[in-house]
Amino acid sequence: MSTITEIKPETATLSNDEILRYSRHLIMPEVGMEGQLKLKAARVLCIGAGGLGSPLALYLGAAGVGTLGMVDFDVVDYTNLQRQIIHTTADVGRKKLDSAADKLKAINPLINLRTFDTRLSSDNALELFRDFDIIADGTDNFPTRYLVNDACVITGKPNVYGSIFRFEGQASVFATDEGPCYRCLYPEPPPPGLVPSCAEGGVLGILPGLVGVIQATEVIKLILGKGDSLIGRLLLVDALAMKFRELKLRKNPDCPVCGTHPTITKLIDYNEFCGIRGEEATVETGVPEIQVEELKRRLDAGEDVFVLDVREPHEYQICNIGGHLIPLGDLPKRVNELDSSREIVAHCRSGARSAKAVNFLRQAGFRKVHNLAGGILAWADRVDPKMPKY
Amino acid sequence: MPKIQIPTPLRQYAGKQPAVEVKAATVGEALSGLVTRHPELRRHLYTDEGKLRAFVNVYLNDEDVRYLQKEATAVKETDSISIVPSIAGGTA
């Protein structure tokens, strides 16, 4: 069982106030005064104050982790409230760090909260990590996950990992001496666009709660040096089936970062590593586009335009512009429903899926097909403000 | 028959099923049977050269087949093969 040797509980003491606050911890032999002092002396950095970061920070703060760091550059969005429970309706538009800090100070004013209003990058990660004992990864994209992993291995800090998608989650503890790192499991990232983000794939609101608290549990166990850590195990959570499975993870001796002969000893350009050049492009280059105003003009003028909606049926029910619905995944099978002699405008929610549809149709020989730039969201913004956005 | 567990991000290419039963003697045969039955899965699991993609891990029960006999790993009737792709969602 790996313990964190940098935590020096002997230098910490508990006031009477703290003893009362943490009494439910203190009366358990697994924690006791010794364990609570370890928690107080511990320094944990949470990357991300969103879905996973919310429960992570809330529970670690409540538990009395002495120094809690949070890194996030983002602002609270209305769509975050469905799952990022550290933020409230009144916080929409505020910096996530300010919102999180308010709630954490209210729950436990006795902890030392350090906020970092910055985007984690190869330029700042190593310096940031050095002041903490454990890193909890609550980020939402592949480049940052590889960055966090590599920085953890290089600085020798455990990486308590959690990730989610729709209703499935993963959790583990990477980058310990004896255990694997993230690259041992996934040496290469998927090509951009192959694995959707939460905004594109959706996510069950409770899921980051489930996985985030599992992460918080693992952080606390590492600090206390108690229980069986998820080092060397990948916990798979299927919330719909409510099944928890475990896979064995091994340290890869050939791992370029944590193996016996590491070839990566410095942080790299992670966007390049993940195949993302410059701005993360959601629209494929070279796809012919049409703006929502132009489509409206053509439809109002009675021009012959075939509107193809490539979203899913449940999205069509939220709102639609009367397009012919063929979900993107079904397009190859149902392409014969389309007439290549007609002008076709393909749309989805934001323009990303429809760009793929246009690409596919052009490769199938369709010459008169355009992508509706910005999708139905742009239509709701600029053409029909009464249309709901989602 | 051995069952292949299909992870959520790939279910849309496997007829929306969470698991597929495939008659096979090895992991390689099972995956091959899977992509034959669901051709759209092929590009998500295999490169153009026919190699298993590096961001996809295959487990026989709870062991990574990379540490067994890879695609030659023998499969029993009651075994479960899991495809575990990387997912990144967390904050946004």
Q: What is the pLDDT of residues B71-88, one digit of tens each?
A: 899 999 999 999 987 766
- Cα three-residue angle A55-A141-A360, rounded to 5 degrees: 135
- Give the integer Cα–Cα distance in Å for B78 and A224: 39
Centre a 10 Å sphere on the Cβ of residue A89 and count the other Cβ atoms it contains.
8
Task: Note the pLDDT tens digit of each residue in A39-69.
Answer: 999 999 999 999 999 999 999 999 999 999 9
Judge whether A9-273 and A289-382 match in fold: no
Task: Note the pLDDT tens digit of each residue in A88-135.
Answer: 999 999 999 999 999 999 999 999 999 999 999 999 999 999 999 999
Whether residue B59 and residue A247 make contact (CB cut-off 8 A), yes or no, is yes
The per-residue pLDDT for B5 is 92
- Dihedral over alpha carbons A24, A26, A29, A35 (to 10 degrees): 120
Class of domain B3-85 (CATH, top level): alpha beta
Q: What residues of A are labeled active site?
A: 198, 348
Task: Note the pLDDT tens digit of each residue in A180-234.
Answer: 999 998 887 776 655 555 556 788 999 999 999 999 999 999 999 999 999 999 9
Can you read off the two tokens belonging to residue A281? 């492009």
Question: Which H or E element spans position B80?
Answer: strand B80-85
Cβ partners under 8 Å of residue A87, min gap 6: A54, A76, A80, A81, A96, A99, A100
- Give the integer Cα–Cα distance in Å for A180 and A173: 8
| Chain B nearest C-alpha distance from A191 (Å) | 9
- Cα three-residue angle A382-A385-A390, rounded to 5 degrees: 95
> CB distance from B26 to chain A under 8 Å?
no
The pLDDT of A333-346, averaged and rounded, is: 91
The pLDDT of A284-308, averaged and rounded, is: 88
The per-residue pLDDT for A225 is 95
Residues 213-252 of A with CB under 8 A from B: 234, 236, 241, 245-250
Asked whether the predicted pLDDT for residue A332 surpasses 70, the reply is yes
Asked whether the predicted pLDDT for residue B9 surpasses 90, the reply is no
**What ipTM was assigned to the predicted interfaces of this complex?**
0.82
The residue that leads in pLDDT, A197 or A37, is A37
The pLDDT of A282-308, averaged and rounded, is: 85
Name the nearest CA neighbour of B83 among B72, B71, B69, B91: B71
Judging contacts by C-beta atoms under 8 Å, the chain B residues touching residue A141 are: 88
CATH, domain range A9-273 = 3.40.50.720
The pLDDT of A338-367, averaged and rounded, is: 91
> CB distance from A162 to chain B under 8 Å?
yes
Task: Note the pLDDT tens digit of each residue in A136-188.
Answer: 998 888 889 999 999 999 999 999 999 998 888 999 999 999 999 999 988 87
Using a cut of 0.95, tell me whether the model's pTM lies above it. no
- Give the integer Cα–Cα distance in Å for A187 and A252: 10
Report yes or no: A309 and A318 within 8 Å, Cβ to Cβ: no
Q: How far is CA A281 from CA A165, A351, B92, in A?
A: 21, 11, 17
Considering chain A, what is the average pLDDT of its residues? 90
- Give the residue extent of every domain in chain B: 3-85
- Give the integer Cα–Cα distance in Å for B56 and B83: 7
The pLDDT of A5-15, averaged and rounded, is: 68
Percent of chain A at pLDDT > 90 equals: 71
Q: How far is CA A238 from CA A58, A133, A166, A218, in A?
A: 23, 30, 10, 19
Whether residue B89 and residue A198 make contact (CB cut-off 8 A), yes or no, is yes
- Give the residue extent of every domain in chain A: 9-273, 289-382
Q: Given A140, A194, A249, which is nearest B90 (Cβ)?
A: A140
CATH, domain range A289-382 = 3.40.250.10
Judging contacts by C-beta atoms under 8 Å, the chain A residues touching residue B88 are: 139-142, 145, 163, 165, 195, 197
